[in-house]
Amino acid sequence: MVECEWVDASTSGGPGWVGLDEAREFAASPPPVMRTVGFLLHEQQGSSGYLVLTDTLGYNECAAVHKIPNAMILDWRIL
């Protein structure tokens, strides 16, 4: 089990137009910081590496798999 703190990419707007004031306010705000806790499936080290976590693990299957690039990871630790 690990906990990973990471910076997420974010998007503003949808299929319609976005006002410039709203777009500039979004652009000036920092990206969200997220925390994911789960079972470590794989760790690829290096600048192009990543962590792979799942929140549910069975004997032969698992639930959703989260692959988080190392460049987005602020910190992670074994629980």
* Ranges under pLDDT 50 in the chain: none
Instruction: Please name the amino acid found at residue 2.
Output: V
Residue ranges covered by each domain of the chain: 2-78
Phi-psi domain of 46 (left: phi exceeds 0; alpha: psi -120 through 50; beta: other) = left
pLDDT for 5 equals 98
User: Is the CB of residue 36 less than 8 Å from the CB of residue 4?
Assistant: yes
Q: Look at residue 74 in the predicted model and tell me its pLDDT.
A: 97
